[in-house]
Structure formats: structure tokens, C-alpha cells
């Protein structure tokens, strides 16, 4: 078990070498990731959004007035705020064609046996139970808008760790909930955070008490299943002083022809001396608009690490943020974006240094191929008085063909003299000599490309747990196949 | 087994190889000598199918298959291997990982090896060829010294066991100790695979202590100007390439 948690530099080795497994995954893709289970959803409020829908969602969840008011205020802001004028083209989203609330199973299930068969079938195709057998310490899986399955090892409960779906946490821990919900990302933050706040459902809530260090990662899978269904999960993680946690979310989605919207909000509080790593493996089908707001508040000598891997979706706009509020706080954002045909991934990072001796690292790796477009968009801000702060930004882009495009939009706003900042950016085209060399050793052009891409992102992939590194590489091999010529 | 007939090659519009003829039979060792820029390295790249070069006339055949109709990958799978003079670096790609992909691509499905079995084979081969084991966990040629890169090329030769091995200045940039290790390795692979043909490209006679050529060809200005036995080597050693040219 312990070995799996180590950052294994050989993770790639097992994977890229394992052509057999990879090609099997390729063959199974449609059945593995592109299926849609048929079962009757228990509650579906239909398509479109208005105040009535927002009220209904709140009512169905038996919420208190404060939450209803928050939702309504957020809805108001959502209606008033214009679409962002920068980034990807969002003009094709038809908000009235999206499902805002679908409840697949009415009861929370604590054990695998209690999960309905059709849903279980879906998860089995995704390999979730296997992942659990291997190293999952606790599972909270979101299916449709509601968490239907969760399981937390008893020893953690004994340690005071709370790992729940967000709806349950709202009911069971109202004080903690009200103290933090919407405080880091207020409902007026941006149009999509507002939409999420108005209609949020499900998501993950984690509280780690003082001094508790969780060595095993916690994880949750998210899936969209109902056509045209928006998924608006809400995640809140509070790491109390001196605590440590690694949370992983992995996404796969069925392939649908109509556009879907995924708009999540993730808020994280990292208290003094605590350490949080939040890893995302995003593989939405390529019709999903993935518009996510993620932000962490990092206190004195605390560490926040975002590891963000984006492979899927039609459009992604996501800029995980670390607000360094306490002296000595450290923020790190490592990201991968792989944009293929019809995809525009506008991803990046935000770091705001508000205290002295804070430090940050941003490392972005983006790849575009087959007409795909990837952009790095970053903001580094250092306020006056944040003396002795350090920041390093590295963004590397790899372009595989002439039809693809990559852009870098870095913004540095530095108002303090006594700081150290470094910014490196590189754009490279795939090297013909490398391809020739690999092919001269009997590799196919697709294998050669996939190998070069996996090497390019290796510095970030090695930060992932082994299984995820393998899954990511398998997905990359899969994505690269057929993208040549 | 391998036959080049009247081969002429252009790079863009520049003629770089003219009417090359060469026949290599199973197990033979051929040596190519010639001044820098005479077209030796170009010929190896053309044989392997490098996209920068266009065949304007003539054919290259391997076991009667016309190579010009095959992709680079297919040529490798047909049994041609080039140990490059300057192997490229591919950052972030683990060597053993890559080598297993290479090895398995050359095996029939039922002989492909899973990770751990391959690792065992790789370690054995590395030991035989005096390749330090730590190199196996490095990235593909990334930040390797010239000598280390050449060792890894020879390790790949041993794994692939081609029908025709082309060694493009496998001796260049090596000190005497490294040269000895590398050529003893090649010698060993040749002894184990006597049917393997070798095309040696070199400036220096010292490698013939390890691999004695059956045929020597002198290449000048994109043409084979002389073919024969070891007497050509002797003449070059006495008079240099220039002497030959003016004769």
C-alpha cells in the first residue's frame, strides 16, 4: 500500500511500455467510457432555469432559508453577469436546454451492495470498485446530481475526519458549513460560480481535524449520465492546523451528441502548517463545457498543491487559485492540458501573494494536436508588503501539427520590490528527428507521438499516484491514436 | 539479401547520391570509408527512409521487398537497424519503458514480454554488453554522454537482432576503453547471430580489429568510387582520401 502512494517515477514505464493494455483500452473505449446506462431517474426537474427551479431544488433538499437566499442571490447574479469576453467561446451554451437537477437514487448508500444495479454496472465499467480494492481508503462517488455511494474507513471517523457528500455535510454539520460555504468563492465571483451556487447539488465535503495527517489519498469520481444534464457539484475542504490530505477527483463521461455543462466550485481552506493536495483527472466527453472555479485560501506556513490534468471536454476554462494569506504560505499549481480535435482548453493558474515570505510555483504543460487549441492563462499578483516572496512560472507548450494552436496569456502584477520572480515559457513543435528515430526502431508513428507526449508531461505525471499515472497515459495513447494525418 | 541498384538521391533539388550499387549477402560485413560529407551518413538515412531525402532513380531491396514502398517503421520490422552517430534525446521517456516497446514490436504476439520478464532480459543483455544498469532507468538519451548513447544504441541492436545492422560511426567520439567495450559488444552480438549482416561506416581502421570486413567501399562525393577488400583500407592509410581521388 505504502509504495503506491509514493511518487513513482517508473509509473510511466509500466504504462507506456504496456502497449497491450493500452490497445485494449482503445478497443474498449466506447463501451468503457462512452456508454449511457438506461434507468429511470427518480427526480428530474426538466430543462431550463428560472427562480422557480432554484426554489424547487432548495425545497427538495429541505434547506434552511439562508441557503435558499444564497441560491436566489446567486441566481440573480448569474442572470445579470455577462459571459466572459475572454477565453473560450461560450456563446453556444443554451442555458434553457440544460437539466439543472436530476436525482438518480434517493437514498445514500454506505455499502457497495446497496447501490442500484444499473448504477453499479456503470461504475464497474469505470473500474471504480477495482480502484477501491487497490488503494481507495474511502469512496464518495457522485452519480447524476446526488452522491449515492460513500464509504469512509472507521479509523478515520474515529480521528474526527468528515468525508461526506456536500448535501449531507450541510445537514449534519451546519455550523462548519455555514462558516465556510461561499466564503472563498462568493456567489458573485463570476457568472459560473454564481450558477453553481444557485443550483449546486452533491460534491464532496472534507474536514480534517488539527494534527491529523492522512497519508492515503481520498477520491471521488464524477460522471454525467443524463443527456444535456448540467452537473453543479460543490466541494468544500477544510484542513485544520497541522493536518495533511490528498484528495483526488477523476472524471470520465459518456459520449453524447448534445452539449453538456459542468460547472463546479471547489473551495479549500488550508490552515496554519497544513498541507493539501488536490488532484484532478478530467476526461469529460468532448461535448462538455467544463467551467470550474477552484480556489484555496492558504494560511501561515501552509502548503496548497493543485495538480490539474485536463484531457477531455469541448471547452475548459479553469484556473485553480492559491491565495497566500499567511506568512510563509506556499502555493503550487501543476497542470496538463491536451487539446485535440474540436477542443479548446483554456487553463492556467492564479496565485496571489498577500503576506511576506510566501512562495509559489506554477508549472503548466500543454499539448495541442489535430486542430485542438490550448491556452495558458495565468495571474501572478504580489501586493505591497509581501516582502521576500518568491514565484516561479514555467509554461511549456507542444504543438503536434500545423492545424493546432497554442497561446500564452501571462499576467504579472507585482507591487513589491523585494521579491524574486521567474517566468519561463517555451513552445515547441514535435521534433521530426525524434519521430524518425523512434520509427527507425519499429515504433509506429502513433506510438512515437504518444511516447514523446508522455515524456513531455512526465514531470507532472510523476506527481500522480501510480494508477492515475497509468490511466492518464492510457488516455493519452488513446487520444493520440488516429490523430495523425 | 540486401541490394541497392543504381540509386540516386536528392535532398530538395540537390543531388547528393549518384548511382550507388551495393549487394550485401547474409552474414557479410561491409565497410564504408570516405571523407566527411561524401554521403555515407546520408546513405544510411536513405536506407532507413528519412523523409528529408527523395529517391530519384534506382531501388533499395531487402529480401526482394522494395524498401521505398515501406514506412520507416516497416523497414525496422523488416530487419534493418541503424545505430546512429548522434542519437536524438527524448526527454521524459524512460529507457526501459521505451526498450520494451521496441522489443515487443519486433516479437510475434505470443513472444512479447510483460514488464518484469522484460526487465530481467534487459538486465542480462546490459550485463553482457557492459552497459551500466543505472543507464536503464535514465531517460532516452537525455543528458547521456556520447559514449553512453552509443552503448545504448548497441544494447538496442542486441535486443532487436536485425538482419542488417548499419553502424554509423559507432566509434566516433570514444576513448579507447569505450571503443573497446562497444566493439566487443558488437562482436559478441555478431558471434551470437552469424547470419546478421553489418554495414560499418567508419574513418578508422582500429575497429577492424573487432570486425573484419569482407568488403570495403570507398565513397566520395556521393558515389562509390572503389570497392574491394582490405587493400583499400591500406591504401587510404598510406595516402589518405585525397590521394585516391586524384589517382
Per residue in A165-183, pLDDT tens?
888 899 999 999 999 999 9
* Contact with chain B for residue A458, Cβ under 8 A: yes
Nearest Cα neighbor of B199 from B67, B81, B88 is B81
Nearest-Cα residue of chain B relative to residue A449? B90
For position A468, what pLDDT does the model report?
Answer: 76
* Contact with chain B for residue A443, Cβ under 8 A: yes
Pick from A3-12, A67-76, A167-176, B230-239: least confident: A3-12
User: Rounded to the nearest 10 degrees, how much is the dihedral formed by the CA atoms of A31, A35, A38, A40?
Assistant: 140
Pick from A37-41, A189-193, A368-372, B80-84: least confident: A37-41
Q: Say yes or no for a CB contact (<8 Å) between B92 and A457.
A: yes
Classify residue A97 by its DSSP letter. G
- Do A266 and A291 form a contact (C-beta atoms < 8 A)? no
Burial class (CB in 10 A: 0-12, 13-18, 19+), B133: exposed
Per residue in A312-330, pLDDT tens?
889 999 999 999 999 999 9
Stated pTM of the model? 0.81
Nearest Cα neighbor of B33 from B200, B175, B150 is B200
Nearest-Cα residue of chain B relative to residue A459? B92
- The phi, psi pair for B189, rounded to 5°, reads -65, -40
Q: Say yes or no for a CB contact (<8 Å) between A451 and B139.
A: no
Nearest Cα neighbor of A172 from A200, A207, A146 is A207
Q: Which residues of chain B have pLDDT under 50?
A: 244-247
* Interface with chain A: mutation pick from B70, B78, B94, B163, highest number of A CBs within 10 Å: B94
Beta-bridge partner residues of A423 = A393
Q: Say yes or no for a CB contact (<8 Å) between A437 and B156.
A: no
For position B99, what pLDDT does the model report?
Answer: 96
Per residue in A31-59, pLDDT tens?
555 545 555 556 777 788 999 999 999 99
In our burial notation (b when 16+ CB lie closer than 10 A, e otherwise), range A467-483 reads bbbbbbbbbbbbbbbeb
- Please work out, in degrees rounded to the nearest 5, the angle formed at the alpha carbon of residue A150 by the alpha carbons of A146 and A156: 140
According to the per-residue pLDDT averaged within each range, which of A68-82, A94-108, A132-146 is highest?
A68-82
Tell me the average pLDDT across A80-84.
Answer: 94
Residues 121-180 in A contacting B (C-alpha not used; CB under 8 Å): none
Nearest-Cα residue of chain B relative to residue A436? B50
All residues of chain A having their beta carbon less than 8 Å from the beta carbon of residue B160 are: 441-442
Nearest Cα neighbor of A125 from A56, A36, A188, A189 is A36
Nearest Cα neighbor of B81 from B2, B4, B157, B186 is B157
Q: How many helices (H) and strands (E) does chain A have?
A: 14, 23
All residues of chain A having their beta carbon less than 8 Å from the beta carbon of residue B156 are: 441
Nearest Cα neighbor of A302 from A276, A274, A280 is A274
- Do A457 and A450 form a contact (C-beta atoms < 8 A)? no
Residue A14 pLDDT grade (very low, low, confident, very high; cuts 50, 70, 90): very low
Q: Say yes or no for a CB contact (<8 Å) between B92 and A454.
A: yes
Amino acid at each position: 500500500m505504502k509504495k503506491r502512494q509514493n511518487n513513482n517515477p517508473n509509473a510511466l514505464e509500466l504504462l507506456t511500455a504496456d502497449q497491450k493494455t493500452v490497445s485494449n483500452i482503445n478497443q474498449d473505449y466506447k463501451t468503457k467510457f462512452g456508454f449511457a446506462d438506461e434507468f429511470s431517474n427518480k427526480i428530474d426537474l426538466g430543462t431550463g432555469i428560472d427562480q422557480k427551479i432554484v426554489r424547487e431544488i432548495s425545497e427538495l433538499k429541505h434547506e434552511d432559508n439562508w441557503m435558499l437566499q444564497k441560491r436566489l442571490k446567486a441566481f440573480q447574479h448569474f442572470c445579470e453577469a455577462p459571459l466572459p469576453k475572454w477565453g473560450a467561446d461560450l456563446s453556444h451554451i443554451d442555458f434553457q436546454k440544460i437539466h439543472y437537477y436530476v436525482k438518480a437514487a434517493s437514498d445514500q448508500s454506505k455499502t457497495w451492495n446497496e447501490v442500484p444495479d444499473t448504477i453499479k454496472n456503470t461504475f464497474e465499467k469505470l473500474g471504480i470498485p477495482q480502484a477501491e480494492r487497490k488503494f481507495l481508503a474511502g469512496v464518495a462517488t457522485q452519480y447524476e446530481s446526488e452522491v449515492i455511494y460513500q464509504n469512509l474507513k472507521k479509523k478515520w471517523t474515529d480521528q474526527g475526519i468528515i468525508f461526506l457528500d456536500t448535501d449531507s455535510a450541510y445537514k449534519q454539520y451546519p455550523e462548519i458549513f455555514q462558516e465556510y460555504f461561499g466564503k472563498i468563492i462568493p456567489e458573485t465571483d463570476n457568472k459560473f460560480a454564481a450558477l453553481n451556487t444557485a443550483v449546486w447539488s452533491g460534491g464532496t465535503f472534507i474536514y480534517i481535524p488539527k494534527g491529523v495527517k492522512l497519508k492515503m489519498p481520498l477520491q471521488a469520481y464524477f460522471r454525467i449520465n443524463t443527456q444535456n444534464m448540467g452537473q453543479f457539484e460543490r466541494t468544500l475542504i477544510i484542513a485544520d492546523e497541522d493536518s495533511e490530505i490528498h484528495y483526488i477527483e477523476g472524471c470520465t463521461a459518456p459520449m453524447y451528441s448534445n452539449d453538456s455543462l459542468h460547472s463546479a466550485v471547489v473551495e479549500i481552506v488550508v490552515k496554519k502548517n497544513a498541507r493539501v493536495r488536490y488532484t484532478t483527472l478530467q476526461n469529460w466527453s468532448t461535448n462538455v463545457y467544463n467551467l470550474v472555479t477552484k480556489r484555496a485560501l492558504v494560511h501561515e506556513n501552509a502548503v496548497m498543491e493543485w495538480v490539474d490534468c485536463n484531457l477531455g471536454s469541448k471547452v475548459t476554462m479553469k484556473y485553480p487559485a492559491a491565495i497566500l494569506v499567511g506568512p510563509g504560505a506556499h502555493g503550487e499549481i501543476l497542470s496538463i492540458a491536451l487539446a485535440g480535435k474540436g477542443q479548446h482548453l483554456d487553463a492556467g493558474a492564479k496565485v496571489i501573494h498577500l503576506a511576506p515570505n510566501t512562495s509559489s510555483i506554477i508549472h503548466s504543460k500543454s499539448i495541442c494536436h489535430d486542430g485542438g487549441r490550448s491556452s495558458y492563462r495565468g495571474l501572478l499578483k504580489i501586493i505591497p508588503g509581501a516582502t521576500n516572496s518568491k514565484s516561479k512560472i514555467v509554461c511549456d507548450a507542444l504543438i503536434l501539427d500545423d492545424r493546432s494552436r497554442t497561446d500564452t496569456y501571462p499576467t504579472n502584477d507585482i507591487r513589491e520590490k523585494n521579491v524574486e520572480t521567474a517566468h519561463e515559457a517555451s513552445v515547441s513543435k514535435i521534433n521530426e528527428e525524434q519521430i524518425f528515430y523512434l520509427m527507425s526502431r519499429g515504433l509506429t508513428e502513433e506510438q512515437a507521438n504518444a511516447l514523446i507526449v508522455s515524456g513531455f508531461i512526465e514531470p507532472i505525471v510523476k506527481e500522480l499516484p501510480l494508477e492515475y499515472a497509468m490511466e492518464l497515459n492510457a488516455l493519452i495513447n488513446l487520444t493520440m491514436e488516429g490523430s495523425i494525418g | 539479401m540486401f541490394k541497392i541498384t543504381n540509386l540516386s538521391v536528392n535532398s530538395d533539388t540537390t543531388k547528393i547520391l549518384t548511382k550507388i550499387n551495393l549487394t550485401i549477402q547474409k552474414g557479410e560485413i561491409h565497410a564504408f570509408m570516405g571523407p566527411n560529407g561524401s554521403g555515407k551518413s546520408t546513405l544510411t538515412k536513405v536506407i532507413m527512409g528519412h523523409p528529408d531525402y527523395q529517391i530519384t532513380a534506382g531501388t533499395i531491396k531487402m529480401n526482394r521487398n522494395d524498401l521505398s514502398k515501406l514506412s520507416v517503421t516497416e523497414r525496422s520490422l523488416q530487419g534493418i537497424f541503424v545505430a546512429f552517430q548522434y542519437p536524438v534525446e527524448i526527454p521524459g521517456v524512460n529507457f526501459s519503458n521505451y526498450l520494451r516497446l521496441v522489443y515487443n514490436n519486433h516479437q510475434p504476439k505470443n513472444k512479447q514480454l510483460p514488464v518484469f520478464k522484460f526487465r530481467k532480459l534487459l538486465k542480462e543483455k546490459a550485463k553482457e554488453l557492459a552497459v551500466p544498469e543505472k543507464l536503464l532507468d535514465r531517460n532516452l538519451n537525455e543528458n547521456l554522454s556520447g559514449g553512453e548513447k552509443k552503448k545504448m544504441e548497441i544494447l538496442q541492436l542486441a535486443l532487436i537482432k536485425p538482419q542488417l545492422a548499419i553502424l554509423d560511426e559507432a566509434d566516433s567520439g570514444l576513448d579507447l576503453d569505450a571503443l573497446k567495450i562497444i566493439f566487443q559488444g558488437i562482436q559478441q552480438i555478431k558471434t551470437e547471430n552469424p547470419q546478421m549482416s553489418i554495414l560499418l561506416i567508419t574513418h578508422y581502421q582500429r575497429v577492424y580489429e573487432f570486425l573484419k570486413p569482407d568488403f570495403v567501399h570507398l565513397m566520395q562525393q556521393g558515389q562509390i568510387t572503389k570497392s574491394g577488400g582490405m587493400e583499400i583500407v591500406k591504401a587510404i592509410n598510406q595516402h589518405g582520401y585525397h590521394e585516391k581521388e586524384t589517382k
